[in-house]
Chain A
Amino acid sequence: MRLNYILSDLGIGLKRNLSMTIAVVVTIWVSLALFGSALLANSQVSLMKGNWYDKIQISVFLCTKDSGGRGCSGAEVTQEQKNRIQQVIQTNPDTAPDGVFSESKKEAFESFKKLYKDSPIVSTVTEDQMQESFRVKLKDPQRYQNLVSAVAGLPGVDTVQDLRQYLDPLFKALNGLQIGAIFAAGLLLAAALMQIFNTIRLAAYARRREIGIMRLVGASNFYIQLPFLLEAVLAALVGAVLACGTLWLGVYLIVMQRAQETFRVWQWVGATETFRAMLYMVLVGVILAVIPTFLTTRKYLKV
């Protein structure tokens, strides 16, 4: 392939259809940004759930020397107390069989470090400050009252938490946002597809003389399709880059500047998740631009 000819053809083609190309780029930009936001919302939900959310319902946190709970007396929980607590939990009728897990300070610390890896908090917390815990899976997630009251007052128990209670409303909101974003992204992508279809149809018509002669003279189908494919890929890449920039800006302004400061309780999406979302965005953008281009040029450049 002669690169020079192809590149100059590409330039001419893009200029000729400039307004349509810009329309395609903008549509891809917005739809990919929405898609990326949905991906990030997904990551955020996973982060908030952590290791335990999906597996268990009740968390029983045991005393350390700094704990202020009812069952704590300024000292670490003893092995006796732990045994007693475990027995109470295991014999409770609401507990699922094999549904009791324990987490040591070490394990808790590892989880903590992983979850908060991008945050400055990690350096200020030590393993010693972590709490041991029992994690309990219930037979019926709705019937937790019995177990909670049985365990709450026991010596050695700091707090009993039902994570779902305060995470569920948040997850519902995030899920709602996700669905909305995906729906909007889907609509916009459909619009982008139609725009691409239109752009190619017009470009093929405008270039019909050249294309006609190319076919007559024996240019391969791929050579004839190539300028269109390259234009589509270029438009998709530009749109994707703009979308990535927008996403990064959003994450920076909303999450890093605001939410992380205000809601330090859990981990927020950071650089890693954002870059991963960007990668998917670029891939999806390019694939979704190339496929309709390929199909449309095949249709209009029939041999």
Chain B
Amino acid sequence: MIRFENVSKTYEGQSRAALLNVNVDIEKGEFVFLVGTSGSGKSTFLRLVLREQRTSKGHIMVAGKDLNRLASWRIPQMRRQIGTVFQDFRLLPNKTVAENVAFALQVIGKPRSHIRKTVPEVLELVGLDGKEDRLPDELSGGEQQRVAIARAFVNRPMILIADEPTGNLDPGTSVGIMKLLDRINRTGTTVVMATHDVSIVDQMRKRVIELQNGHVVRDESRGVYGYQH
């Protein structure tokens, strides 16, 4: 599903590479943790998958398509296959919960009938039924993140990318979010999650890819965070 072939990325004006010779192969349906300190290249990795940046060297294949060869106008189409969740939730403050999720469907041209049906479904899936008309600032952190996850998942994407989704949440709430992501993963969605959260990684025992200074230093299935050595 996602394959990095000898990928290197150096941002303009920087001498040190953000990613160097990264080779990673993620299959469909996998759940992968991306761990490492700040600046290790986790966010760059995710940005490259989303084609927000191009590689300096090497190829990235997402669902069989070479991202470097993708024409600019086809990128939006590709992004519809990838749901994203961020540490700061990124909700629209003036829209209700339901409107925030519907927004993702509206802007890609889904008909109103489809939206009316799927939004309540996905809100129930994330455990927010009853809260459709609340505004984001009326919700707790965990609830806001659930809205973000609902929005990311409503179009049933192939891949879900999460960049430190529990970063702003307390441990208890984080567990709830992880359970949700696990459930989503079990429907067949490939999940790639960058995180600092040691306990979550240790608890879930999924595949762990550790980055250090842009290199992949560890790639084990059923791994632990293992950072404190």
- Distance to closest chain A CB from B45 (angstroms): 16
Which of these binds chain B: A143-151, A178-186, A216-224, A279-287?
Answer: A216-224
A-side contacts of B93, CB under 8 Å = 209
> Does residue B187 face the partner (Cβ distance < 8 Å to A)?
no
> Does residue B57 face the partner (Cβ distance < 8 Å to A)?
no
A215, A218, A224: the one within 8 Å of B77 (CB): A218
> Does residue A214 face the partner (Cβ distance < 8 Å to B)?
yes
Given known A2-B106, A212-B90, A213-B92, contact A220–B112 (CB-CB < 8 A): no
Given known A5-B106, A213-B103, contact A218–B92 (CB-CB < 8 A): no
B-side contacts of A2, CB under 8 Å = 106, 109, 111-112
Q: Is the CB of A219 within 8 A of B108?
A: yes
A-side contacts of B112, CB under 8 Å = 2
Given known A213-B92, A303-B72, contact A223–B107 (CB-CB < 8 A): yes
B-side contacts of A213, CB under 8 Å = 90, 92, 103-104
> Does residue A128 face the partner (Cβ distance < 8 Å to B)?
no
Q: Is the CB of B76 within 8 A of A219?
A: yes
- Distance to closest chain A CB from B102 (angstroms): 10
B-side contacts of A303, CB under 8 Å = 72, 75-76
Within B86-134, the residues touching A (CB, 8 Å) are 90, 92-93, 103-104, 106-109, 111-112
- Distance to closest chain B CB from A105 (angstroms): 67
Assign chain B's interface to a size class: 20 to 34
Distance, CA A202 to CA B103, complexed state (A): 22
> Does residue B78 face the partner (Cβ distance < 8 Å to A)?
yes
Given known A212-B90, A303-B75, contact A217–B80 (CB-CB < 8 A): yes
Q: Is the CB of B72 within 8 A of A218?
A: no
> Does residue A210 face the partner (Cβ distance < 8 Å to B)?
yes
A-B contact count (CB 8 A): 57
Distance, CA A209 to CA B90, complexed state (A): 8
**Residue picked from A212, A216, A224, A303, most chain B C-beta under 10 Å:** A216
Contact with B along A207-247 (1 / 0, CB 8 A): 00110111111111101100000000000000000000000
> Does residue A1 face the partner (Cβ distance < 8 Å to B)?
yes
Given known A212-B90, A213-B90, A213-B103, contact A223–B79 (CB-CB < 8 A): no
Q: Is the CB of A214 within 8 A of B107?
A: yes
Q: Is the CB of A217 within 8 A of B108?
A: yes
Given known A1-B109, A2-B106, A2-B112, contact A221–B90 (CB-CB < 8 A): no
Q: Is the CB of A218 within 8 A of B79?
A: yes
Chain B: CB-nearest residue to A216: B84
Q: Is the CB of B109 within 8 A of A218?
A: no
Contact with B along A163-183 (1 / 0, CB 8 A): 000000000000000000000
Q: Is the CB of A218 within 8 A of B108?
A: yes
B-side contacts of A1, CB under 8 Å = 109
- Distance to closest chain B CB from A95 (angstroms): 67
Q: Is the CB of B76 within 8 A of A221?
A: yes
> Does residue B73 face the partner (Cβ distance < 8 Å to A)?
yes
Q: Is the CB of A217 within 8 A of B107?
A: yes
**Residue picked from A213, A217, A220, most chain B C-beta under 10 Å:** A217
Distance, CA A220 to CA B80, complexed state (A): 10
Q: Is the CB of A209 within 8 A of B92?
A: yes
A-side contacts of B108, CB under 8 Å = 217-220, 223
Within B12-54, the residues touching A (CB, 8 Å) are 50
Chain B: CB-nearest residue to A302: B72
Which 6 A-B pairs give the minimum distances between C-beta atoms?
A218-B80, A218-B79, A219-B107, A217-B104, A218-B76, A220-B76
> What are 5 A-to-B residue pairs whose CB atoms are below 8 Å?
A2-B111, A209-B92, A216-B50, A219-B108, A220-B77
Known A-B contacts: A213-B90, A218-B79, A223-B108. Give 9 more (CB < 8 A): A1-B109, A2-B109, A209-B93, A212-B90, A217-B103, A217-B155, A218-B107, A218-B108, A221-B76
